[in-house]
Structure 1
């Protein structure tokens, strides 16, 4: 089994901690360590450093080497510093593994996700590997759907394989209303889709060829350029020609074909996509999520975080607020307006103040 840790995203929704030159996965969003280091430390409990591969952008290599010195440099899968989303980026990682370890399954670990307890996560990886070896099909993750949510996709379950694993009958894209989602949960055996992936690198490349042949063609051009003179320049040129898009433009078709499986996650999981997701994951019934030197009086439902141990952040009489303080920026925003962060960033661009982005 090989592990691919993806750590090349920009994480713009986690501003002001996440910055263009040092995004959220390398920042101490939770406590004093980054989610990248947190995940690497967990994986090293079970896997040798030689079996862990890091997919990241060239400009982030310094953070990878600082925060995971155990991982050999030859295991870095380096994307050009060009934003092409996860489809091309992960495709490059799959290509590299297919060239070096075609017969071994891989498990994809996103560096900006948290999973607790960690021991159950490691057991799930082991279970996924066993399913892939036995059935030769893609394995993903799911959570029992109890409350309707319009922000997530669903998987309709098929055959029970035991140990909370199932075949997938169909992939159900997110509904536009709570009513539609509630009817889906009530009338069909579905689980919420959680973006995990375990498979063979050659199998996922075959799926690229079938469902995104344009990506596949460019990946084959990159393959021809590897270990040739001018390799880096050629890869950068070809990669820039790839159309942006998420890996789901491939994997959703695989899951919808009836040739995939899902494991119900035996642990708590979140993708740290926004400050609200941090609150939802870690607040766990308490009035506020506080990280750092914080005093809160008569406040509820809020996230308050500071990076300064010698600086006090005090709030009183606030509800459902996000307060995040860094060396050079302070964010104060209602939780239900969290998507306005992109408007703040647009204004900073208009003001030509890239040092804050």
Structure 2
């Protein structure tokens, strides 16, 4: 029985490109709804929400995602112990070391940390929680534990772990880590037995982790400690010191510690797990129909088999194809063989290198902000149309623009609008005009989501033409 509660450390700073066009740099896969009606980050939060087993989680992310993290946790009613902001990506060893430095004064040297990715799909059943408890007990005894998933196929997209001496019925020492193999090597390992997929999930004794970092990669530990000691508190966020954090080597926790320590252990388990690292894996984890297809809303198929068809906007119809992925966002469409979907990142590199298409890899038409967000509907010469949505109780910054005027038409909810010295309430089908250069603010005082259509006109319509006078999110 676990006596001390586990401290979850959720890694949520990645900018994955392998699920383009839905996943993009500004809104990667952990924050979008790929399977079900919640994001992968939210389902990760739910897995660590049992307060009898877990403390409030520490989330490690970056500046760009900080409000997505806070808002998605708030919408579930889940409190966070801390949101740690990396000034730039430095691989997993630096991020985990910083989280450990944040956790130490909060939870003590004898804390046990569960480090988990925010973008994995896991079936959190009794098998999963049995593995969690076994790992926690092993970590409490001083082992640095990783989770090995029993392979169901000779996958080449994962690293493997070979189990060694059994410590008990549920935990073994790690004999070795194996880099991502080719198909023949993966087949050979599965045939030999004792090999497991490396899930990238860990359970660490806080003091033991710090001791092994000190032993094998002291520069990582020193940089993390200094970055946390010199960190700045900003609202609910801990901003790591950039100068100190930059001193950390760019190295994974596997290379920094796990492949060197004599205390590495693995918990082999058969719980359902996927890193959803390709459209092929999304298809395998979806609701497959009688023809082998996984379909979203806004799609129709005919004589199509073993395919993934997803649309976030226009209706997509597919006829007479097999083993394909067709994925449509609001502004881009990907079509390819499911078997080649591991290589989407190569296509994204081509798109990002061309000025005409680089924006398609960075931003969605829908962008999220701490108060809600907006969707770009139509862009033209000297005009732009957006759908703006504001969360109940939230308000935008008090601001003005040098180059554009705006028209707002409320389509849902109630808006509190400030224009100059005048404050007025607008309801559905009512509108207001904000002249160029006028100070203004939009707020949602109601209990339901506020939605409005914004029409911008002017000589320059970029997002950087915002002069914030005051802002409750610290952006002025």
The two structures share one fold, judged by TM-score above 0.5: yes
How big is the shift at 1:298?
A: 1.7
Match of 1:20 among 17, 25, 30: 25
Match of 1:264 among 257, 262, 268: 268
Q: CA separation of 1:261/1:208 partners in 2, compared to 1, >3 Å: closer, same or farther? A: same
Q: CA separation of 1:305/1:298 partners in 2, compared to 1, >3 Å: closer, same or farther? A: same
Alignment of 1:239-258 (within 5 A): 239-254=245-260, 257-258=261-262
Q: CA separation of 1:190/1:307 partners in 2, compared to 1, >3 Å: closer, same or farther? A: same
Return 5+ residue gaps in structure 1 as ranges. Answer: none
The aligned residue for residue 347 of structure 2 is: 343
Would the aligned equivalents of 1:30 and 1:291 in 2 still touch at CA under 8 Å? no
The aligned residue for residue 217 of structure 1 is: 222
Q: Find the aligned partners of 2:238 and 2:161 in 1 and give their Cα distance.
A: 39
Q: Find the aligned partners of 2:309 and 2:212 in 1 and give their Cα distance.
A: 43
Runs of 4+ more than 6 Å apart = 231-234
SS of corresponding position for 1:245: coil
The aligned residue for residue 109 of structure 1 is: 116
Q: Find the aligned partners of 1:11 and 1:128 in 2 and give their Cα distance.
A: 28
Indicate yes or no: 2:337 matched with 1:331: no
Match of 2:307 among 289, 292, 302: 302
Match of 2:38 among 18, 33, 37: 33
The aligned residue for residue 195 of structure 1 is: 200
The aligned residue for residue 447 of structure 2 is: none
How big is the shift at 1:244?
A: 2.7
Indicate yes or no: 2:323 matched with 1:320: yes
Q: CA separation of 1:130/1:34 partners in 2, compared to 1, >3 Å: closer, same or farther? A: same
Q: CA separation of 1:187/1:127 partners in 2, compared to 1, >3 Å: closer, same or farther? A: closer
How big is the shift at 1:34?
A: 0.6
The aligned residue for residue 404 of structure 2 is: none
Would the aligned equivalents of 2:138 and 2:145 in 1 still touch at CA under 8 Å? yes
Tell me whether 327-336 or 317-326 shows the greater mean CA deviation. 327-336
Match of 1:204 among 202, 209, 223: 209
Q: CA separation of 1:304/1:188 partners in 2, compared to 1, >3 Å: closer, same or farther? A: closer
Q: Which has the higher contact order (CA 8 A, sep 6+)?
A: 1
Q: CA separation of 1:238/1:232 partners in 2, compared to 1, >3 Å: closer, same or farther? A: farther
Q: Find the aligned partners of 2:95 and 2:105 in 1 and give their Cα distance.
A: 16
Deviations 1:214-251 (A, max 9, x none): 322322322442479xx988711222343433222224
Indicate yes or no: 2:160 matched with 1:154: yes
The aligned residue for residue 134 of structure 2 is: 127
SS of corresponding position for 2:89: coil
Q: Find the aligned partners of 2:289 and 2:148 in 1 and give their Cα distance.
A: 23
Quote the RMSD (CA, aligned, Å).
Answer: 2.8
TM norm structure 1? 0.86
Q: Find the aligned partners of 2:195 and 2:14 in 1 and give their Cα distance.
A: 30
How big is the shift at 1:50?
A: 5.2
Q: Find the aligned partners of 1:285 and 1:158 in 2 and give their Cα distance.
A: 40
Would the aligned equivalents of 1:107 and 1:197 in 2 still touch at CA under 8 Å? yes
Q: Which has the larger share of helix?
A: 1
Return 5+ residue gaps in structure 2 as ranges. Answer: 1-5, 362-476
Alignment of 1:224-239 (within 5 A): 224-226=229-231, 235-239=241-245
The aligned residue for residue 280 of structure 1 is: 284
Deviations 1:268-300 (A, max 9, x none): 101122222212233668612212232222222
How big is the shift at 1:141?
A: 1.1
Would the aligned equivalents of 1:305 and 1:325 in 2 still touch at CA under 8 Å? yes
Tell me whether 329-338 or 191-200 shows the greater mean CA deviation. 329-338
Q: Find the aligned partners of 1:8 and 1:295 in 2 and give their Cα distance.
A: 35
How big is the shift at 1:208?
A: 2.3
Q: Find the aligned partners of 1:50 and 1:189 in 2 and give their Cα distance.
A: 33
How big is the shift at 1:61?
A: 1.3
Q: Find the aligned partners of 1:253 and 1:267 in 2 and give their Cα distance.
A: 24
Q: Find the aligned partners of 1:344 and 1:143 in 2 and give their Cα distance.
A: 29
Would the aligned equivalents of 1:79 and 1:92 in 2 still touch at CA under 8 Å? no
Q: Find the aligned partners of 2:52 and 2:58 in 1 and give their Cα distance.
A: 11
Would the aligned equivalents of 1:207 and 1:250 in 2 still touch at CA under 8 Å? no
SS of corresponding position for 1:12: coil
Would the aligned equivalents of 1:50 and 1:71 in 2 still touch at CA under 8 Å? no
